[in-house]
Structure 1
């Protein structure tokens, strides 16, 4: 029986609103039909905190035609957007430095990561979301955005798709930034020259995946201009 059939006690995120007022979190994926070799039969909300952890049971038909039942957990934190801010006149990039606990407890020396501006969509369109994040984090009012690509960053366990952009910025027009104090953010702007950016990947000063991808794009499309 599918978890869509209410045969369990009422649960937050299932039948009762969770801490963010959400219900029906156990139905995600049940109506997906794009792959005829996959049949999703049950979705259970394992954790319904700010983000959602689900356990999904599905049948998968292999290349030999045989069906097998699998169970996987997926972490749903919503989709996000990121932007590489560059000043073509000064040949600089505007990045951020902030503390990242997951990196710190998994071996990063101090947890202070240099990154491109980024954030979750939180219900906004990707372009609106990244304009908001650039203003909050770095004090930049973004003008024209160039959409680069959309990537799944950790598709083995995390549902998030990140929308990648590039945009020019004017150093003289930066006002505010630093992140949102009510969310515990302390974000420091970091200006990096075109010539230094790739060296920071090579020597380990930049280890954030989305930022490495953006800098590789810049090496191919921006730094030679």
Structure 2
């Protein structure tokens, strides 16, 4: 862990850079140096966004995962198709807990009722320019009969739900078809811990 803390950064100015669906702030700051003293003034744009929850729904009795597919603007011009396979995910609303976000988004995006929620980790996906903090979970679900098109029409969501065996998901990970951070981290965790999760789940309720 670093010897430095929040007190070792001085924010000299914080100005609005952009306000739209998302927000960008322009910060002028300086921070202490490893060699001692203070560094020069730096101007940095910060992508300001609510924290997020991502959930890997896992059926331990079928050894299958539930993934969602939707168009992602960040993937335009970066891959053959901007439709990506991902975890169930969403942003915090004011006053919500991470568990409440997980259950709300699972219902909205996939028609899923989550059983046990297992915390995996929390992480910053891109701290060089964004303040987003992601809460990552695995959740036990019954995947039988799951599928179809979901999402909130008022939010422009068009989400297709897919159930993959864990072996199929492993292959998609190996092939690079699963190429977003939350999905990679969660599936790698499940591949390491799936046996324990299945043992703890016991017989199907």
| Bucket of the pairwise TM-score, normalised by the shorter protein | 0.7 to 0.9
C-alpha distance in 2 between matches for 1:134 and 1:146: 14
Matched, 1:164 2:136: yes
**What are the within-5 Å matches in structure 2 for residues 104-123 of structure 1?**
104-105=76-77, 107-123=78-94
Counterparts of residues 45-124 of structure 1 (less than 5 Å): 45-67=16-38, 68-105=40-77, 107-123=78-94, 124=96
CA-to-aligned-CA distance 1:162-210 (integer Å, 9 cap, x gap): 1011111112475986111111111001111111212111212111111
1:35 and 2:37 equivalent? no
How far did 1:66 drift? 3.1
Q: TM-score, normalization: structure 1?
A: 0.80
The Cα RMSD (Å) is 1.9
Higher helix share: 2
Are the equivalent residues in 1 in contact too, given 2:146–2:163 (CA < 8 A)? no
Residues 141, 174 of structure 1: 8 Å contact kept? no
Extract unaligned runs of 5+ from structure 2: 199-205
Specify whether residues 196 and 161 from structure 1 end up closer, same or farther in structure 2 by C-alpha distance, changes over 3 A only: same
List gaps (5 residues or longer) in structure 1: 1-32
Higher-Rg member (1/2): 1
Q: Structure 1 runs of 4+ off > 4 angstroms? A: 173-177
Aligned length: 192
Alignment of structure 1 residues 192-203 onto 2, 5 Å: 192-203=164-175
1:134, 1:47 → 2: CA distance?
A: 31
